[in-house]
Amino acid sequence: MNQLERLLNEFSQQKLQNQTRRHFLMDCVSKVGGLAMAPLLFGCEPGTIKKSQGLNLSDRDLNPLAPLPPPFAPKAKSIIYLHMAGAPSQLELFDYKPELVKYDGKACPESLLEGRQFAFIRGVPNILGPQAKFSQHGQSGAWVSDYLPHFSSVVDEVAFLKAVHTDQFNHGPAQLFMQTGSPRLGRPSIGSWVTYGLGTENKNLPGFVVLTSGGKTPDAGKSVWGSGFLPSVYQGVQCRSKGDPVLYLQDPEGMTRDMKKSVIQAINSANEESFKDFGDPEILARINQYEMAYRMQIEVPEVMNINDEPAAIQELYGTKPGEESFANNCLLARKLVEKGVRFVQLYDWGWDTHGTSKEGSIDSGLRQKCQEIDRPITALLLDLKQRGLLEETLVVWGGEFGRTPMQENREGKVQGWKGRDHHGDAFTMWMAGGGIKKGASYGITDDFGFAGLDERVSVHDIHASILHLMGFDHEQFTYDFQGRPFRLTDVEGELIHSILA
Amino acid sequence: MDFLLPLFGRFHPLFVHLPIGILFFAVLLIFLSKKGKTNFSNVIPITFLTGTVFAFLSAISGFLQYQHEGYTWDSVQIHLILGWCTVAFSAWLYFSFRRNPDITKNRKIHSSGLLLILILTGHFGGNITHGDDYLFEVLPSGLQSFLGIEIEQSKPLELPTENWEEIAFFDGAIQPILNHNCTSCHNPKNLKGDMDLTSAKGLLEGGENGKIVNQGNAENSKLFSRLILPKEDEEHMPPKEKRQPRKAEIELIKAWIESGGSMDQTLGDSKVSTSLISQFFAKEEFPFYPKTTLKSISSDTLSKLREKGFFIENIALDNPLLRVSCINFPAFEDKDWELLNSVSDHIAYLDLSGSKATQAILELIGTSSNITVLKLNGLEISGENLSSLKNCTNLKLLYLNSTAISMESLSLLNGHPTLEKVYVFKTPASNQEKVRFSFELETGDYLLPKLATDTIVY
**Statement to judge: residues A98 and A55 lie in one domain:** no
Torsion of CA B135, B138, B141, B145, to 10 degrees: 0
pLDDT(B302) > 60: yes
Show which of residues 364-403 on chain B sit within 8 Å of chain A, judged by CB atoms.
375, 377, 397, 399, 401
Contact with chain A for residue B454, Cβ under 8 A: yes
Residue A275 region by backbone torsions, left for phi larger than 0, else alpha for psi between -120 and 50, else beta: alpha
Contact with chain A for residue B251, Cβ under 8 A: no
Q: What is the 3-state secondary structure (H, E, C) of A72-140?
A: CCCCCCEEEEEEEECCCCHHHHCCCCHHHHHCCCCECCHHHHCCCCCCCCCCCCEECCCCCCEEEECCC
Residue A476 lies in a domain: yes
pLDDT in tens, B255-300: 999 988 888 888 888 888 887 888 888 776 678 999 888 999 998 8
CB contact under 8 A, B397 and A388: yes
Q: What is the pLDDT of residue B412?
A: 93
What secondary structure letter does DSSP report for B170? I
Q: How distant is the Cα of B50 from the closest Cα of chain A, in angstroms? A: 42
Point out the residue among B319, B327, B448 whose CB comes nearest to the CB of A378.
Answer: B448
**Statement to judge: residues A271 and A328 lie in one domain:** no
CB contact under 8 A, A371 and B454: yes
**Statement to judge: residues A423 and A295 lie in one domain:** no
Point out the residue among A46, A69, A368 whose CB comes nearest to the CB of B458.
Answer: A368
Contact with chain B for residue A382, Cβ under 8 A: yes
pLDDT in tens, B195-229: 888 888 888 888 888 889 888 898 899 999 999 88
CB contact under 8 A, B447 and A68: no
**Statement to judge: residues A491 and A347 lie in one domain:** yes
Q: What is the pLDDT of residue A224?
A: 95
Q: What is the pLDDT of residue B157?
A: 85
**Beta carbon pairs, A and B, within 8 Å:** 99
CB contact under 8 A, B287 and A73: yes
Residue A415 lies in a domain: yes
CB contact under 8 A, A67 and B289: no
**Statement to judge: residues A57 and A82 lie in one domain:** no
Contact with chain B for residue A67, Cβ under 8 A: yes
Q: Using CB atoms within 10 A of its CB, is residue A412 exposed (0-12), middle (13-18) or buried (19+)?
A: exposed
Cα separation, A337 vs A315, whole angstroms? 20
CB contact under 8 A, B397 and A391: yes
Q: How distant is the Cα of A8 from the closest Cα of chain B, in angstroms? A: 33
Residue A314 lies in a domain: no
**Statement to judge: residues A299 and A335 lie in one domain:** no
Which helix (DSSP H) or strand (DSSP E) does residue A465 occupy? Answer: helix A459-469
ipTM score of the complex? 0.84
Show which of residues 326-345 on chain B sit within 8 Å of chain A, judged by CB atoms.
327-328
Q: What is the pLDDT of residue A197?
A: 95
Contact with chain A for residue B431, Cβ under 8 A: no
Cα separation, A211 vs A349, whole angstroms? 11
The DSSP code sequence of B390-421 is GG-TT--EEE-TTS---HHHHGGGTT-SS--E
Query: Mean pLDDT throughout B162-172?
Result: 87
- Domain holding A86, by residue range, is 78-245+323-499
pLDDT(B147) > 90: no
Q: What is the pLDDT of residue A39?
A: 39
Query: Mean pLDDT throughout B333-338?
Result: 93
List of chain A residues whose C-beta atoms are within 8 Å of the C-beta of residue B445 = 312, 386
CB contact under 8 A, A74 and B316: yes
Q: What is the pLDDT of residue B50?
A: 95
Mutation site for B-interface testing, chosen from A309, A337, A371 by largest number of B Cβ within 10 Å: A371
CB contact under 8 A, A386 and B445: yes
Contact with chain B for residue A383, Cβ under 8 A: yes
Q: With DSSP H G I counted as helix, E B as strand and the rest as coil, what are the percentages for chain B, rounded to 5?
A: 45, 10, 45
Point out the residue among B316, B327, B397 whose CB comes nearest to the CB of A340.
Answer: B327
**Statement to judge: residues A401 and A295 lie in one domain:** no
Closest CA to B445 of A313, A328, A374: A313
**Statement to judge: residues A483 and A382 lie in one domain:** yes
pLDDT in tens, B72-116: 888 889 999 999 999 999 999 999 998 988 888 888 999 999 999
pLDDT(B144) > 90: no
Contact with chain A for residue B308, Cβ under 8 A: no
Closest CA to A132 of A85, A98, A82, A165: A98
- Residue B393's φ and ψ, nearest 5 degrees, are -80, 5
Residue A257 lies in a domain: no
**Better-predicted residue by pLDDT, B161 or A461:** A461
Angle at B181 between CA B176 and CA B182, to 5 degrees: 95
Cα separation, B93 vs B111, whole angstroms? 8
List of chain B residues whose C-beta atoms are within 8 Å of the C-beta of residue A383 = 446
pLDDT(B312) > 90: yes
Point out the residue among A73, A340, A379 whose CB comes nearest to the CB of B288.
Answer: A73
**Number of domains composing chain A:** 2
List of chain A residues whose C-beta atoms are within 8 Å of the C-beta of residue B352 = none
Residue A69 lies in a domain: no
List of chain B residues whose C-beta atoms are within 8 Å of the C-beta of residue A469 = none
Please tell me the number of Cα atoms within 13 Å of B432 on its side-chain side.
16
**Statement to judge: residues A299 and A329 lie in one domain:** no
Residue A20 lies in a domain: no
pLDDT(B31) > 60: yes
Show which of residues 401-430 on chain B sit within 8 Å of chain A, judged by CB atoms.
401, 421, 423, 425
Q: What is the pLDDT of residue A25?
A: 59
Point out the residue among B314, B377, B401 whose CB comes nearest to the CB of A69.
Answer: B314
Residue A435 lies in a domain: yes
Which helix (DSSP H) or strand (DSSP E) does residue A452 occupy? Answer: strand A452-454
**Statement to judge: residues A102 and A159 lie in one domain:** yes
Q: How distant is the Cα of A371 from the closest Cα of chain B, in angstroms? A: 6
List of chain A residues whose C-beta atoms are within 8 Å of the C-beta of residue B244 = none
Query: Mean pLDDT throughout B300-316?
Result: 92
- The pLDDT profile of chain A, 501 residues, written as one tens digit per residue, is 567 777 777 777 767 666 666 665 555 555 444 444 443 443 333 344 444 455 566 777 777 888 999 999 999 999 999 999 999 999 999 999 999 999 999 999 998 898 888 999 988 999 999 999 999 999 999 999 999 999 999 999 999 999 999 999 999 999 999 999 999 999 999 999 999 999 989 888 889 999 999 888 898 999 999 999 988 888 888 887 677 777 777 778 888 888 888 888 899 999 989 988 887 777 877 787 788 778 878 788 888 888 889 999 999 999 988 888 999 999 999 999 999 999 999 999 999 999 999 999 999 999 999 999 999 999 999 999 999 999 999 999 999 999 999 999 888 888 889 999 999 999 999 999 999 999 999 999 999 999 999 889 999 999 999 999 999 999 999 998 888 899 999 888 889 988 998
Cα separation, A63 vs A6, whole angstroms? 37
Contact with chain B for residue A378, Cβ under 8 A: yes
CB B301 within 8 A of CB B343: yes
By C-alpha distance, the chain B residue nearest A153 is B448
Q: What is the pLDDT of residue A48?
A: 42
Cα separation, B62 vs B16, whole angstroms? 9
Contact with chain A for residue B143, Cβ under 8 A: no
Cα separation, B337 vs B353, whole angstroms? 14
**Better-predicted residue by pLDDT, B126 or A462:** A462
List of chain B residues whose C-beta atoms are within 8 Å of the C-beta of residue A312 = 445, 447
Contact with chain A for residue B445, Cβ under 8 A: yes
Q: How confident is the model at residue B151 (pLDDT cuts 50, 70, 90)?
A: low
By C-alpha distance, the chain B residue nearest A205 is B328
List the CATH number of the domain containing A111: 3.40.720.10
**Statement to judge: residues A48 and A183 lie in one domain:** no
**Statement to judge: residues A229 and A106 lie in one domain:** yes
CB contact under 8 A, A382 and B446: yes
